[in-house]
């Protein structure tokens, strides 16, 4: 009997792992991925549904389903565990509550004037979390943890938010964002306020994770992700996993030099991509034409509406990004460059600029095989990825294992 129980446990484990990796699957897919028979899949799924851990959706058909109807799917019940993701932007906050199948159960966002003090920002984030948790009627006992995307590199060895070049003179607006987090233990402050473990990760990295799991990067092997928002962030993904590098600064494309005589960057050097192509710089370039400094959303909307100046600066930004990442494309031969962030809305000319410059500066064979794609998850990507990071962490696995 013990041996039979052990086999059953292993089969259950395999089925749960397949669902954790893929979110939602049909029974047939579960069979293919685990190698379990149809009868075993059915029996385990039924047991876990009865225990409240899994949910099945109807196909509308009877046994086996019939042609033309979508097959029944299996996914985690929100009761099996949820996580919150927080994305902290310069002009807004996003909070999403996700279940283990990466379905959004609740979402909240808030826009504000640039850069509120960090204590205020964290309190606003905590309040949005409280609201999101009230929404679907889940209680705190089911909350596994909170993931946070921050606009700074995070050291994977220590989990500490890196403060770049403290001793150097830094550039106006960009410098404020760096200094804002100085002396702030975001992780402990939020953990104390919300009463659950908190994980911190760079904002471009969490957005990239979300795109890899359920967005434009799904099923792709090597992906370069660019986040063109207030700043320019980036990430390198291999088979859905982040390549972080030794200090967590892999994918910091903003500091690749693209012009010898460019403006002095926050890092103290000259001609970096960031001060030439990032949102905070682009909005200043448009200032003389508009008579005011537009928000990032306005820049994207103007471009989508055909404003010649806005289209030009976004195309130029795209060309500079292409120039900056061309070497990385030669080195890694990725299958996709995925571009997200506030500057890449509907009809943004940034992607065309990027394609053009990659065609000029990378090998023809590698460019032909390369797709330059817009991100799919929109402004939610950061919060989704931050919550997904918690759900896919050892803590998420442990929470689920307790219930099996
Ligand atoms: Zn720099």
Confidence of residue 276 (pLDDT cuts 50, 70, 90): very high
Cβ atoms of residues 113 and 176 within 8 Å: no
Pair of tokens at residue 306: 């055909």
Q: What is the pTM of this model?
A: 0.86
Pair of tokens at residue 230: 């207030």
Tell the residue number behind the tokens 């397949």, with chain if given.
18
233-249: per-residue pLDDT in tens?
999 999 989 999 888 88
Pair of tokens at residue 334: 């990725």
Which of 116-120, 128-132, 326-330 has the weakest average pLDDT? 116-120
In angstroms, what is the span from residue 72 Cα to ligand 1's centroid?
Answer: 51
Cβ atoms of residues 161 and 168 within 8 Å: no
Burial 184-206 (b: 16+ CB within 10 A, else e): bebbebbbebbebbbbbbbbbbb
For the chain, what is the mean pLDDT? 87
Cβ atoms of residues 204 and 338 within 8 Å: no
Instruction: Determine the average pLDDT of the residues in 327-336.
Output: 92
Identify residues whose C-beta is under 5 A from ligand 1, the ion: 255, 265, 267, 272
181-209: per-residue pLDDT in tens?
766 788 999 999 999 999 999 999 999 99
Q: How do 336-340 and 222-228 pair as beta strands? A: parallel
Q: What is the pLDDT of residue 116?
A: 84
Confidence of residue 66 (pLDDT cuts 50, 70, 90): low
Pair of tokens at residue 325: 């990442």
In angstroms, what is the span from residue 261 Cα to ligand 1's centroid?
Answer: 13
In angstroms, what is the span from residue 270 Cα to ligand 1's centroid?
Answer: 7
In angstroms, what is the span from residue 279 Cα to ligand 1's centroid?
Answer: 15
Instruction: Determine the average pLDDT of the residues in 90-97.
Output: 89
Cβ atoms of residues 187 and 122 within 8 Å: no
Q: What is the pLDDT of residue 157?
A: 78
138-184: per-residue pLDDT in tens?
655 689 999 999 888 888 777 777 765 443 334 444 444 556 776 67
């Amino acid at each position: 009997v013990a041996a039979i129980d052990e086999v059953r446990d292993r089969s259950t484990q395999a089925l749960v792992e397949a669902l954790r990796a893929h979110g939602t699957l049909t029974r047939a897919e579960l069979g293919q991925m685990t190698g379990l028979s149809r009868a075993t899949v059915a029996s385990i799924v039924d047991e876990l549904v009865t225990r409240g851990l899994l949910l099945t959706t109807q196909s509308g058909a009877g046994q086996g389903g019939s042609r033309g109807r979508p097959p029944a799917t299996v996914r985690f019940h929100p009761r099996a565990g949820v996580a919150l993701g927080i994305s902290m932007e310069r002009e807004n906050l996003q909070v999403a509550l996700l279940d283990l199948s990466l379905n959004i159960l609740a979402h909240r966002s808030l826009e504000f004037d640039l850069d509120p003090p960090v204590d205020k920002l964290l309190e606003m984030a905590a309040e949005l979390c409280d609201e999101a948790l009230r929404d679907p009627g889940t209680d705190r006992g089911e909350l596994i943890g909170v993931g946070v995307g921050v606009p700074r590199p995070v050291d994977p060895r220590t989990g500490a938010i890196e403060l770049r070049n403290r001793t150097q003179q830094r550039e106006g607006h960009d410098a404020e964002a760096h200094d804002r987090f100085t002396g702030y233990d975001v992780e402990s402050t939020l953990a104390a306020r919300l009463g659950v473990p908190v994980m911190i990760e760079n904002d471009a990295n969490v957005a990239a994770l979300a795109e890899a799991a359920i967005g434009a990067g799904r099923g792709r092997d090597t992906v370069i992700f660019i986040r063109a928002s207030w700043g320019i962030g980036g990430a390198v993904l291999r088979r859905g996993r982040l390549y972080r590098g030794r200090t967590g600064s892999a994918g910091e494309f903003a500091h690749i030099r693209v012009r010898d005589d460019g403006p002095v960057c926050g890092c103290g050097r000259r001609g970096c991509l960031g001060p030439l192509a990032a949102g905070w710089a682009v909005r200043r370039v448009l200032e003389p034409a508009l008579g005011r400094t537009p928000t990032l959303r306005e820049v994207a909307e103007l471009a989508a509406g055909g404003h010649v100046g806005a289209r030009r600066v976004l195309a130029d930004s795209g060309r500079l990004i292409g120039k900056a990442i061309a070497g990385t494309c030669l080195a890694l031969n990725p299958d996709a460059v995925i571009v997200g962030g506030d500057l890449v809305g509907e009809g943004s000319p940034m992607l065309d600029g990027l394609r053009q410059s990659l065609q000029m500066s990378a090998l023809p064979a590698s460019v032909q095989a390369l797709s330059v794609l817009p991100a799919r998850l929109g402004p939610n990507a950061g919060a989704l990825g931050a919550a997904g990071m918690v759900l896919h962490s050892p803590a998420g696995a442990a929470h689920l294992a307790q219930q099996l």
